[in-house]
Each structure stands twice: as structure tokens, then as C-alpha cells.
Structure 1
């Protein structure tokens, strides 16, 4: 038995808050975590577009969907699993690059882009930005980390002078204080200068921290 691969065309899904135009000043690309759907994930960012009509939030959805329990009920999405992982990564990078090209073409050249990945989405956005046609104004890795298998020759130029924030809840059941310290050391070894923000909470988003990241409140 031999394994083969065939590239096919498929339909990807994403959600958007706000209207894109030449007057758009900020775009947020936000990537959900394992087992989430973009339609629900993007709701956490609705206040950004409500506070500023020149802000647009775009939430792509992982290409693999599945039932969260058994063979029915709630559905979630995933960016990748360990099975055929490299092809899944390649497919998602292609999807995200095509999406970003479409979104940014509708904006002025000086639009500020924030890229946020949550949980499993942190590895997805990190790998994507290595092959993206733009450089973000800010990268946020929330409740997850930068992929350890990304070669230094690739990671170091990406992270050089890139504003980078790590966010984690103090009671996150998946990301311990030790793991965060390891992630900080890993990023610093690659030449990054990550800022760490914490909040009282678990493996979740936090409105107050999002407001701070968006510049709506003082640190």
C-alpha cells in the first residue's frame, strides 16, 4: 500500500465584523482554538467594531470540522491533527494567504493589522505569518505558544522587532506558569521581546485584556 495526495478545491469559511473600505484603519485576523467555530469565537471581538467603525475583524475557520461528542450534536473545527499534519498546515496557510490578500486589497496600504491566535490557533498564525505577504503591526499568542519546530532561520526574521504579546489566564488548565516561562525563553532565544499579560481566568478570552490590546483602556 502506498499513500498519495491530490490537491483539490474546497470552500473555506470565515466571518467578518465591520465593513472593509479605504477608510479602514485596523484589521484584526483572529484564529480560534481547537473544537471552536469562528461564528462563536468572533463574537468576543464585536465590541472592537462597535467602538470604532474603522476597525474590521476577520475570523477564519479551521478546514476540519467534527462532532464534539459522539456522532451528533455540537460541531467544532480544528486547524490540524498529527495525522497528515504537513499537508493540513499547507492547506491552511494557502487559505489564510488567499483570505488576507482579499481583505487587505480592500484597505489602504497603511492599514494596521493585528493577528491573534487562541490556543491551537497560536501555532497556526505563527506558521502562516512566516509565509504571509504582509507583516502585522502586532502578534498576539493567547493561551498557546510559538511552534517549537519552526526553524530558527525562519522564525528569527519573522520575530525580529515584531511587537509580540503573550496572554494567559492565571488558572489556565492547559498552560502552566512553567510552560509560559519556557515559551518566553524560547521566544527571547529567537530574538523576540515578548510582553506577557495575565488575567484571572481559565482557558478563555478576557474582555479587559482585549480592550487593552486594542488601546481602548490604559495598561
Structure 2
């Protein structure tokens, strides 16, 4: 038995908060974590576009969906698993590059782009940005980490001078503050202008910290 692969066309899903126009000043690409759906994840960012009509939030969804428990009920999405992982990574980079091209074509050339990955989404956005056709003004890795399998030279090209923020809850079940601190130091060594923010909470987003990051990004 031999394994084969065939590239096919499929339909990807994303959600948009706000309207793209020649007046758009900020675009946020936000990638959910394992087992989440973009429709629900994007609601955490609704206040951005509600507060500023010149800000648009784009929430892509992982291409693999599954039932979270048994054969029915709630559905979640995933960016990848360890099975056929490299092809899933390629598929998602292709999806995100195509999506970004579509979105940014409708924006002014000087639009400011923020990319946020949560949990499993941190690895997805990090790998994507090493091959993206734009450079973000700000990268936020929330409750996750920068992939160790990205070559140091490739990582350094992306991170050199990049405004990067790591966010972690003090009671996160999957990543400790100590691990986040170590990663923060490693990313600084690779050239990132990295900041580590902690908050009282678990493996979750935090509205107050998000608002703080929005204010910092718009200064």
C-alpha cells in the first residue's frame, strides 16, 4: 500500500466584523484555538469594530471540523493534527494567504494589520506569517507558543523588529507563566520587540487585556 496526495479545491469559511472600505485603518486577523468555531471566537472582538468603524476583524476557521463529543452535538474546528500535518500546514497557509490578499485588496495601502492567534492558532499564524505577503504591525500570541520547528533564520527574518506580544493567564491549564517567560526570552534573542503580559485567568481571552492591546496598537 502506498500513500498518495491530490490537491483539490474546497470551500473555506471566515467571519468578518465591520465593513472594508477605502477608510479602513486597521484590520485584525484572529485565529481560534483547537475545537473552537470562528463564529463564536469572533464575538470576543466585536467591540473593536463597534467602537471604531474604521477597524475590521477577520476570523478564519480551521479547515477540519469534528464533533466535540461522540457522533453529534457541538462542532469544533482544528488547524491541524499530527496526522498528515505538513499538508495541513500547507493548506492553511494557502487559505490564509488567499484570504489576506482578498481582504487587503479592499483596504488602503497603509492599513495597519494586527494578527492574533489563540492557543493552537498561535502556531498557525506564526507559520503563516513566515510566508505571508504582508508584514503585520503587531503579532499577538495568546495562550500558545511560537513553533519550535521554524528554522531560526526564518524566524529571525519574521521577528526582527516585529512588535510581538505574548499573553498568558496565570492559571492557564496548558502553558505555564514560566514556559511563556522562557519563550519571551527566546523570541527577544531572535530579534522580536517582545512583551509578555499576564492576567488572572485560565486558558481564555480577556476583554481588558484585548482593549489594552487595541489602544497600544493604535498609538
Tell me the CA shift for residue 212 of structure 1.
0.5
Alpha carbons of structure 1 residues 216 and 190: separation in structure 2 relative to 1, 3 Å: closer
Per the TM alignment, residue 186 of structure 1 is displaced from its structure 2 partner at its CA by 2.1
Which residue number corresponds to residue 18 of structure 1? 18
Matched residues in 2 for 1:11 and 1:71: separation? Answer: 23
1:194 alignment partner, SS class: strand
What are the superposed Cα offsets for residues 139-181 of structure 1, whole Å, 9 maximum, x if unpaired?
A: 0000001000000111001000000000011111111122112
How far apart are 1:189 and its partner, in Å? 2.6
For 1:181 and 1:166, how far apart are their aligned partners in 2? 9
3-state DSSP of counterpart to 2:82: coil
SS state at 1:3 partner: coil
Runs of 4+ residues over 3 Å off in structure 1: none
What is the correspondence of 1:79-98 to structure 2 with a 5 Å cutoff?
79-98=79-98
Q: Distance in 1 between matches of 2:174 and 2:54?
A: 35
Q: RMSD over aligned Cα, in angstroms?
A: 1.1
Q: Return the alpha-carbon distance in structure 2 between the equivalents of residues 140 and 190 of structure 1.
A: 16
Distance in 2, matches of 1:166 and 1:117, equals 10
C-alpha distance in 1 between matches for 2:137 and 2:179: 26
- Alignment partners' CA distance in 1, 2:185 and 2:149: 15
Distance 2:52 2:137 in 1: 18
Task: Return the TM-score normalized by structure 1.
Answer: 0.97
Counterpart secondary structure, 2:76: strand
Which residue of 2 is the match for residue 31 of structure 1?
A: 31
* CA distance in 2: counterparts of 1:193 and 1:107, whole angstroms: 26
In 2: Cα distance, 1:159 partner to 1:193 partner = 8
Say how many residue pairs are matched: 217
Structure 1, residues 101-135: CA drift from partner, whole Å, max 9, x if none? 00000000000000000000000000000110000
Structure 2 gaps of 5+ residues are: none
Q: Distance in 1 between matches of 2:20 and 2:44?
A: 19
Any unmatched runs of 5+ in structure 1?
A: none
Distance 1:193 1:34 in 2: 27
Q: Which residue of the partner structure matches residue 3 of structure 1?
A: 3
TM-score with structure 2 length normalisation?
Answer: 0.97
Structure 2 residue 195 is matched with structure 1 residue 195: yes
Cα displacement (A) at 1:193: 2.9
Q: Map residues 46-195 of structure 1 onto 2, 5 A cutoff.
A: 46-195=46-195
